[in-house]
């Protein structure tokens, strides 16, 4: 692994593979309970044509000694400040589940700073206009674990290890609290294009709910539905990779039609 993040932003951003000096940047934002390493395989597949970075939220892995963030906006602010220490180049955002919410708030911060992202990929999450009362973060440990098992995004061996569970449950609960108490920051519709991806059997979001992201942008909008549940992008990684590549080719100066 090549960690190219330097002092100041190293705690928030990870880079796993080398890229071309002028490669456009793709910033990946993990799901609740997830970490930067979730995107290692996607980074490997997209490098060196893209400079792939992944956010590392506090409260997990090498940041386990730090308290987890209390809100989606706090996560977006942390990543925003870290990005400010990198060289400027065309930037695309890819967020899955909670990461989609972080990406949406981050895109707003970037637009307000005069640095809009080239495209916002939103995966496995309904648009913020769809309100649903959820309070799993106030439930028991058993209820929280049951939800994680249902989504099938965590190694089952981890969920059987009581010592590891004791380490990750506070972080997981904090992430669910951030998601379930999220209210979008008021503001105008974004100008960036939206590309929304979802699984056709995701128990957390229907394709119709995913389509409501179209209400949040004045840019172009696409919805792509793949076979699979909440973590469809694991078995469908190659299809997701191709969608990212085709979109960025089309949006690049002089780019042709998407493949």
Q: Which residues pair with 122 in a beta bridge?
A: 95, 196
Q: Is residue 70 within 8 Å of 97, Cβ to Cβ?
A: no
Among the listed residues 97, 140, 214, 220, the single catalytic one is 97
47 given a catalytic annotation: no
Q: How far apart are CA 13 and CA 34, in angstroms?
A: 14
Q: How far apart are CA 59 and CA 11, in angstroms?
A: 11
Q: How far apart are CA 99 and CA 105, in angstroms?
A: 10
196: tokens are 């929304």
Q: How far apart are CA 98 and CA 62, in angstroms?
A: 20
Residue 61 C-alpha from the chain's centroid: 17
Whole-angstrom CA distances from 226 to 118, 229, 233, 234 are 23, 9, 8, 11
Q: How far apart are CA 40 and CA 139, in angstroms?
A: 32
Which are the catalytic amino acids? Answer: 97
């Amino acid at each position: 692994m090549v960690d190219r993040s330097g002092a100041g932003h190293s705690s928030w951003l990870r880079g796993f593979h080398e890229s071309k000096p002028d490669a456009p940047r793709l910033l990946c934002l993990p799901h609740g309970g997830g970490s930067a390493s979730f995107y290692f395989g996607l980074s490997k597949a997209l490098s060196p044509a893209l400079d792939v970075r992944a956010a590392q939220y506090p409260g997990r892995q090498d940041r386990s000694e730090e308290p987890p963030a209390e809100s989606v906006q706090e996560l977006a602010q942390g990543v925003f400040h870290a990005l400010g220490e990198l060289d400027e180049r065309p930037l695309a955002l890819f967020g899955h589940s909670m990461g989609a919410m972080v990406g949406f708030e981050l895109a707003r911060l970037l637009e307000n700073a005069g640095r809009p992202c080239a495209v916002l990929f939103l995966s496995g999450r309904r648009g913020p206009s769809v309100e649903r009362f959820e309070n799993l973060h106030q439930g028991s440990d058993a209820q929280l674990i049951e939800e994680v098992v249902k989504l099938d995004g965590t190694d089952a061996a981890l969920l059987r290890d009581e010592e590891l569970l004791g380490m990750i449950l506070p972080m997981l609960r904090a992430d669910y609290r951030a998601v379930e108490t999220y209210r979008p920051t008021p503001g105008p519709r974004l100008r960036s294009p939206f590309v929304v991806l979802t699984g056709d059997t995701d128990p957390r979001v229907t394709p119709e709910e995913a389509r409501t992201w179209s209400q949040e942008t004045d840019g172009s909008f696409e919805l792509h539905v793949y076979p699979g549940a909440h973590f469809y992008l694991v078995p469908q990684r190659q299809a997701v990779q191709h969608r990212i590549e085709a979109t960025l080719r089309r949006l690049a100066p002089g780019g042709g039609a998407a493949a």
